[in-house]
Chains A and B, each alone.
Chain A
Amino acid sequence: MSDTPRRDPALGDLPLWADSGDGSRPDSGAGSGFTLIGRPQRKVDGLAKATGKAAYTDDIALPGMLHAKILRSPHPHARILSIDTTRALALEGVHAVVTGRDMPVRYGIIPWTPDEYPLCVERVRYIGDGVAAVAAVDEDTAIRALALIRVEYEELPACLDPAEALAADGSDERPFIHEPRREGRNGNVTKRVQLSFGEVDERMAGAEVVVEGEYFFEGTTHTPIEPHCAIGRYDENGRLTVWSATQVPHYLHRELASVLGLDPATIRVVQPPVGGAFGGKSEPFDLEFCVARLSMATGRPVKILYTREEVFYAHRGRHPFHMKYRTAADEQGRLQAVDAEVLLDGGAYASFGLVTTYYAGQLLTAPYTMPSYRFDSTRVYTNKPACGPKRGHGSVQPRFAFEVQLDKLAEKLGMDPIELRRVNFMGGNTRTVNELRVTSNGFLECLDAVEKASGWRERHRRLPPGRGLGVAGSCYISGTNYPVYPNEMPQSAIQLQVDRSGRVAVLSGASEIGQGCDSMVAYITAEELGVPLEYVRVLAGDTDFTPVDLGAYSSRITFMLGNACIDAARKLRRKVQEAVAEDWECRPRQVQLAGGWAYYAPDTGRRMRIARAFNLAEARHGTLGATGWYNTPRDNHGDYRGGTIGASPAYSFTAHVAEVDVDVETGVVDVVRIWVAHDCGRALNPLLVEGQMEGSVYMGFAEALMEEQIFKSADQGRAGLHNAPSLLDYRIPTSLDTPEIESLIVESIDPEGPYGAKEAGEGPLHSSIPAIANAIHDATGVRMDRLPFSAPNVWRAIQEAGGPKALAPPRRRAAPPPEPARVDRTTVGVGP
């Protein structure tokens, strides 16, 4: 019995897609007739965020909650001789004080390099390192109590420079920052990777042109607008709940158990909406351990909210990179050999540094064919806040250097820089020189798109002096092939649960940090089960009831969670199709679910409401639910040591053209406009993809022109002190600083991505920086091989080139063509 009214006018000419109904991967070719996928949609949390109702961690207040503060080291390097907390404990309103001795268990996000304690035990390693924590009735009291803690330090020589760190010998004058893990080693070297592929020296020697360059990428930090915040509650049943603004609830869950010596089954991690992260919240921090430990000590909930200053100390941001590159090509511009030497300034702890050291070399090998490649990358400890992963982890810095190298190569060969990149395009369905498997590859389309949109052919090398265009390309991973701790379990999973009303609950362990992953699974669920988007509830970020997802890092979620969600939804869909088919006496594949209805495909006038279809399925199969999961392929990388790092199930590709206007008298660079084309596989929601592209471009621009996470030297009065731990002094772009951004989406439809999708959150950052550097060269003839391209740095470079009058920007002909109409930044619309 089915209700068969006429076609619902609201559905219009809703296309019903051809579908095998057997749960196989979707035919992701064009015309596959999606109802939601590929179109702009509202986000599931859009209105909650726009009305101030979304509750972030600091918006949570629990009854009886205490507030805690952390005492931080004033020294960049010192031994802790003693800590006296008695006066702090005696202060009225103070409930507990903990020090490193209360949690003397080492941890680290990478299981092979555990080198930090929640609070320092015997040594502090940077100004801002945590030493003790106080829980009190309010923040003011906790702050007062911190001043009453007496810590006796023995200062040690601090090392702020990575080259000096390499030269340390463990003597009293030049002590190691961490003890060497093996006798006779330099304790300051956290990781060294040397890998070589193909015949680098031979090809280098035989090449037509070789370009050599030295580059420096200054460190930068994430500065999410939400400071880190955590609440711990240890309850009467011996269960610990930690709410935290984290990107990695699962890893936090594991580390809490190991450090606090608790059974992980007694721990629950809740991740409320996160107010921005960008990699800066992707490992455990002192505050999470402290709120937990202090709650265990007091039996009351405890909250810690970092000050903005503490966010700068927590850091884990972009490593400063010192880089040397030699790049060789034949006379047609085809790359022959690349030889790189990279020194990473890691700061005080390992963090993700093992991976960063690999990424510094491994991720450079696409989108260009490289017949031979060698890199030698070394990460060292220094007495500064630890560096870690920031959007484009480890590969933004080498990409800057390499894409400038390519520009120099093109100049030497008299080639158009876009042409040079085309000539070297590696294509799709291939392997890189370091044996990474590349599937879909839309890089050429990206180049075409920015070339056209920017008017490159008419304008590059032809703009008036001071004005220029620059191009760059890049690639990035859609998730890492392996989790940070080895295991065979799925990387991502989804659980679906259906109500008799037609409502579908999606239980997701992934971390919504603004990128839209909660919405993404809602779109997929609605698409696959044919329910309206409003029928989907996403319940996420709570380890007590969601399946494990490894976290919001390495641009893994759309690809992995998306596939997991399709897997779960298809299992459910099959049950629904079977049940309806039985009712209609047809074949299951003839039942289509879309827009709130189940349809009989051969005659779409015949249909029933989706809730009824679900009810039939529940009657036939029992309570309706399904789990789906995703794990990575295992054959997509080399089997040499380190060959798995950099491996990803799919790679995204990006091209940028930047236009700059340089004031050669002052060195002020105005980035007028950036065109960015990004191959995201398929844009599940183009609005969100554009948002990721625009945010990435903005962040790259910010690093290119403005940002520096830097520290004072001894000459500046206080060695190792953060130069500017505030949003006033560490300048990030305002609306007035940010250039116009034009986003151009390229869809290569990846064979393994969910509906063909790949990542969009990090890739589009990379090439913005070298594109700007190359544009500055087009405008002035001056090379910027050091970041940032701030007015003083650019002015200095111009002076070194002989001053404004001596500048000779490369031009295609003696008389430039008439000046193109200046793009009016204030009136031109943005977007494709």
Chain B
Amino acid sequence: MVKATTCIVHLRVNGDDYAPGVPSHYTLLETLRYAIGLTGSKQGCDKGDCGACTVILDGEPHLSCITPVLAAEGREIRTVEGLAGAGRPHPLQDAFDLNGAAQCGFCTPGILCSAVALLERNDNPSRTDIREALAGNLCRCTGYTKIYDAVESAAAVLRGQDGGTENGE
């Protein structure tokens, strides 16, 4: 058995503190998925090429598969599991469902993190803004079109002008 150095890392994920023991070479993604059990973040390539592993670190989208776990200590980590409110999806998650923006859904957690980070700094993004914010997230299923629709409609909801059914009266 490989005797990797094991270390205890202190992580704050979605507002909770964790202190798992992991091999010191672990990435943040491996730690989330295999040590903490937060499997929402996906691994599509494990080398920084696909964006499926995107999480939000201190408000910025990051590729967790190329983030050494030790580099994530002391930072505010948000994953797809931390986007929803209690029993209520984030407006973007709801918009993904309503717009059919997740087909196989494997890219979705990473895309949600990139898009939420965008919406938190810009609640009225243009299509170009959205395209650019998602340029690091490969989706092989959708052709991206429905994803743009979802981000735009979530932005409208977040601005309080969804013109829709729930609170649009």
A interface residues, Cβ below 8 angstroms from B: 40, 42-43, 45-56, 58-59, 61, 91-93, 136-138, 140-141, 144, 222-227, 273-278, 305, 307-308, 513-516, 687-688, 690-691, 694-699, 726-728, 732, 734-736, 738, 740-741, 743, 825-827, 830-831
Give the complex CA separation of A691 and B81 in angstroms.
25
**Identity of the chain B residue whose Cβ is nearest the Cβ of A730 in the assembled complex:** B49
Q: Tell me if B126 counts as interface (CB < 8 A to partner A).
A: yes
Give the complex CA separation of A50 and B136 in angstroms.
18
**Identity of the chain B residue whose Cβ is nearest the Cβ of A825 in the assembled complex:** B127
Give the complex CA separation of A226 and B100 in angstroms.
19
B interface residues, Cβ below 8 angstroms from A: 1-2, 4, 23, 33-34, 37, 39-50, 52, 79-81, 83-84, 89, 93-94, 96-109, 112, 126-128, 130-132, 134-149
Give the complex CA separation of A690 and B141 in angstroms.
12
Using Cβ atoms and an 8 Å threshold, which residues of chain B touch A825?
127
**Identity of the chain B residue whose Cβ is nearest the Cβ of A697 in the assembled complex:** B143
Using Cβ atoms and an 8 Å threshold, which residues of chain A touch B127?
825-827
**Identity of the chain A residue whose Cβ is nearest the Cβ of B130 in the assembled complex:** A735
Using Cβ atoms and an 8 Å threshold, which residues of chain B touch A46?
96-98, 100, 102
Contact, CB under 8 Å: B135 / A734: yes
Contact, CB under 8 Å: B140 / A51: no
Give the complex CA separation of A140 and B5 in angstroms.
13
Using Cβ atoms and an 8 Å threshold, which residues of chain B touch A92?
1
Apart from A136-B1, A275-B44, A743-B145: 15 A-B pairs, beta carbons within 8 A: A51-B80, A51-B93, A53-B40, A225-B138, A227-B45, A275-B104, A276-B104, A278-B140, A514-B141, A694-B145, A728-B49, A735-B139, A735-B147, A736-B131, A827-B127
Contact, CB under 8 Å: B100 / A691: yes
**Identity of the chain A residue whose Cβ is nearest the Cβ of B82 in the assembled complex:** A52
Contact, CB under 8 Å: A141 / B1: yes
Contact, CB under 8 Å: B52 / A225: yes
Give the complex CA separation of A227 and B47 in angstroms.
13
**Chain B nearest CB, measured from A490 CB (Å):** 27
Give the complex CA separation of A493 and B76 in angstroms.
49
Contact, CB under 8 Å: B50 / A225: yes
A-B contact pairs, 13 of them (CB 8 A): A40-B100, A50-B105, A51-B93, A58-B33, A222-B140, A225-B104, A225-B139, A274-B104, A690-B145, A691-B100, A734-B137, A738-B143, A830-B145
Using Cβ atoms and an 8 Å threshold, which residues of chain B touch A735?
130-132, 134-135, 137, 139, 144, 147-148
Q: How many A-B residue pairs have CB under 8 A?
A: 207
**Identity of the chain B residue whose Cβ is nearest the Cβ of A93 in the assembled complex:** B1
**Chain B nearest CB, measured from A496 CB (Å):** 25
Give the complex CA separation of A694 and B47 in angstroms.
28
Contact, CB under 8 Å: B1 / A514: no
**Chain A nearest CB, measured from B52 CB (Å):** 5
Q: Which 4 A-B pairs have the closest CB atoms?
A: A52-B40, A514-B104, A275-B106, A49-B105
Our pick among B45, B80, B142 for the contact of A726 (Cβ within 8 Å) is: B45
**Chain B nearest CB, measured from A552 CB (Å):** 11
**Identity of the chain B residue whose Cβ is nearest the Cβ of A519 in the assembled complex:** B100
**Chain B nearest CB, measured from A65 CB (Å):** 11
Give the complex CA separation of A726 and B34 in angstroms.
23
In the complex with contacts A52-B40, A55-B39, A275-B42, A140-B4 CB distance below 8 A:
yes
Contact, CB under 8 Å: B96 / A50: yes
Using Cβ atoms and an 8 Å threshold, which residues of chain B touch A48?
105
Using Cβ atoms and an 8 Å threshold, which residues of chain B touch A227?
43-45
Using Cβ atoms and an 8 Å threshold, which residues of chain B touch A690?
100, 145-146
Give the complex CA separation of A53 and B87 in angstroms.
13
Contact, CB under 8 Å: A275 / B105: yes
Give the complex CA separation of A248 and B93 in angstroms.
30
Using Cβ atoms and an 8 Å threshold, which residues of chain A touch B4?
140
Contact, CB under 8 Å: A51 / B84: yes
Contact, CB under 8 Å: B42 / A226: yes
Contact, CB under 8 Å: B44 / A308: yes
Using Cβ atoms and an 8 Å threshold, which residues of chain A touch B135?
734-736
Contact, CB under 8 Å: A226 / B49: no
Contact, CB under 8 Å: B145 / A826: no
In the complex with contacts A47-B89, A53-B40, A224-B145 CB distance below 8 A:
no
Contact, CB under 8 Å: B80 / A140: no
